[in-house]
Structure 1
Amino acid sequence: MRLLVLGGTHFLGRHVVTAALDRGHDVATFTRGVSGDPPDGVRALHGDRDDPAALPAALDGWAPELVVDTSCQTRAAAENAAAALSEVRGYAFVSSLNAYANWPPGPLGPEDAEPTWSTDDDEYGPVKAFAERTIGAAVGDGFLTARAGLIIGPHDPIHRLGWWLDRISRGGRVVVPDALDQPIAAVDARDLAAWLVGAAERGLSGAVNATGPVGMTTLGGLLDLCREVTGSDAEWVPVPEEELLSAGVEPWVHLPLWLPADVARTAWDVDTTRARELGLPSRPLAESVADTWAWLRVNGRPPMQKLAHRPEPGLPAELEAKLLGRIADDQVT
């Protein structure tokens, strides 16, 4: 079938394209043309999603039957997609848990039991909720919105898991939060991508919490996997939350994937019953971590996507040194 990927040249979109080609679809991507090219055999369409004339002009009579939308970041982009693509049979839209008005910290129950944002501001969560409503109203049956959480895997330009792998691979004393037992859940981009293509094919409808299952792992478990796959001699130096915050360490940014205790307690308590019923897989976390490390070793640090809601991840070396200087050797685990 004719399948259009809105996005499609990096990370999740790249994996969506691969999955669609593997399933025999006639694939096109629609991007601004600044983040690389799709694989051979894919129609590379270019334009600005915020321009209402761009997508119809790029399609130029090529009528997609299926859509996987990985790149909607503005209200205008949502309105333009709704106007141009309302006749497709299946539309899988990548939203976010941030579309929920009470996340974080959650917890989140079944999709239809939780309120989504209805405000008019241009923050990330409200824009995703607006896009869900706008495109969903235009497409009707066959519109699925995948509210994704933490997405990991090869080709990740956001570099949260990648930063930990890189830092841990260098060994030595590594600053970590003293809350290594905080829960965390993730979905591999390759699993999500293939599932999105299948959802569009099947014409699935409604909202789905598209992340890993509750109890998947802890932050400490994930970091231990990073140490294992890199073969590192890294030693964890746990630092209490109050000391991290007083030193200017930003949760989720300077120590990627770490959240303050009052948020971490429930942030990954997300009901994924519908996702499991609809076949969203969850490959072993060790496989995702090992494959990400293997990809990083070959390709190096990917270019950072310069988006306002995605600051550069990682603990600056001078801040790490300052924190390590405060911690006695006998606190190393």
Structure 2
Amino acid sequence: MRLLVLGGTSFVGRALVADALRAGAEVTLFGRGRTGPELFPGVPRRIGDRDTGDYTALRKGRWDAVADVSGYVPRHVGQAMDALGDRVGRYLFVSSQAVYVRTGVAAGADEDTPRRPPVRDTEELTEETYGPLEVACEDDVFARYGARATVVRPGKVVGPHDAQDAVTYWLRRAARGGRVALPGRPEQPVQVIDARDLARLMVRLLTDGRPGAFHAVGPAEPTTLAGLIHTCARVAGSAVDLVPAPADPAAPLPLVRPGPQ
């Protein structure tokens, strides 16, 4: 499989490239060349910039599939699709669970769960706009590629090279042990997925040519915020005493952050 990865050197993209290479794919990277230039020696790189709209490097070449892990607003996705046209077989877009409506969703909801209304009049990524912007990106990919479009909607992604402090904060705090102030509800259900598992799923979807939208969440067994923190403490060889604390109702939940994964 000839695979073009838009991004590919930071967290999810990095895990995807590593897994694709292990699976024998011929990978090409597209990005600014500033993050991880030492990674994946020998892998061809096309230099461009999504923010300035410079996709000139993609005007030539053909690929069996493209994996877009760097598009977060419709302009990014639209310009990439315009540059690639029909010279790619399948377009896989990494979206987010943030596309779904926030209320009235029952446990076990599937990919047909109602999504939030799309937003196209801003490029500012906030708690309120991130999901609707992803909805607009999804719609554009499906409209352009139809049965050749694949959308993956991860939950909270964790694992090696995670630059965010959402889960890693709780890992470090649990390792110290003792009394831990916990904003929010200890019984709050949480779902996380390791970036390496997410990468394996995406490579499989591309290899099999699977169209449509797919959840990417875990673990297989239900867990809660308190359960996750206790598990972190147990693995670290410590013990914690969780102390519920009042949470700012305007703040995101402890494991939720807007913006790129």
TM-score, normalised to structure 2's length? 0.85
CA distance in 2 between partners of 1:50 and 1:69 (Å): 14
The aligned counterpart of 2:172 is: 166
CA distance in 1 between partners of 2:103 and 2:153 (Å): 13
Shift of 1:310: 5.1
Letter in 1 for 2:255: L
The answer to whether the aligner puts 1:239 opposite 2:237 as a matched pair is: no
The aligned counterpart of 1:70 is: 69
Shift of 1:27: 0.7
The aligned counterpart of 1:84 is: 83
**Of 154, 161, 168, which aligns to 2:160?**
154
Letter in 2 for 1:151: V
The aligned counterpart of 1:282 is: none
> Compared with structure 1, are the counterparts of its residues 104 and 77 closer, same or farther at alpha carbon in structure 2 (3 Å cutoff)?
farther
- Decide whether the 8 Å contact of 2:118 with 2:134 is kept in 1: no
Aligned residues: 251
> Compared with structure 1, are the counterparts of its residues 152 and 104 closer, same or farther at alpha carbon in structure 2 (3 Å cutoff)?
farther
Match of 2:95, SS state, is strand
Percent sequence identity over aligned pairs: 37
Shift of 1:180: 1.9
The answer to whether the aligner puts 1:46 opposite 2:52 as a matched pair is: no
The aligned counterpart of 1:31 is: 31
**Of 212, 216, 234, which aligns to 1:210?**
216
* Equivalent runs, 1:239-278 vs 2, <5 Å: 239-240=244-245, 243-245=246-248, 250-252=251-253, 256-257=254-255
The answer to whether the aligner puts 1:143 opposite 2:149 as a matched pair is: yes
Aligned residues: CA RMSD: 2.6
Larger radius of gyration: 1
4+ runs of 1 displaced by more than 6 Å? none
Match of 1:192, SS state, is helix
CA distance in 1 between partners of 2:163 and 2:104 (Å): 25
Which one has the bigger strand percentage? 2
The aligned counterpart of 1:227 is: 233
Shift of 1:176: 2.0
Which one has the bigger helix percentage? 1
The aligned counterpart of 2:203 is: 197
- Decide whether the 8 Å contact of 2:119 with 2:135 is kept in 1: no
Shift of 1:192: 0.9
CA distance in 2 between partners of 1:213 and 1:165 (Å): 17
> Compared with structure 1, are the counterparts of its residues 178 and 236 closer, same or farther at alpha carbon in structure 2 (3 Å cutoff)?
farther
CA distance in 2 between partners of 1:120 and 1:132 (Å): 12
TM-score, normalised to structure 1's length? 0.68
CA distance in 2 between partners of 1:184 and 1:141 (Å): 32
> Compared with structure 1, are the counterparts of its residues 65 and 97 closer, same or farther at alpha carbon in structure 2 (3 Å cutoff)?
same
**Of 188, 193, 196, which aligns to 1:187?**
193
Shift of 1:116: 4.0
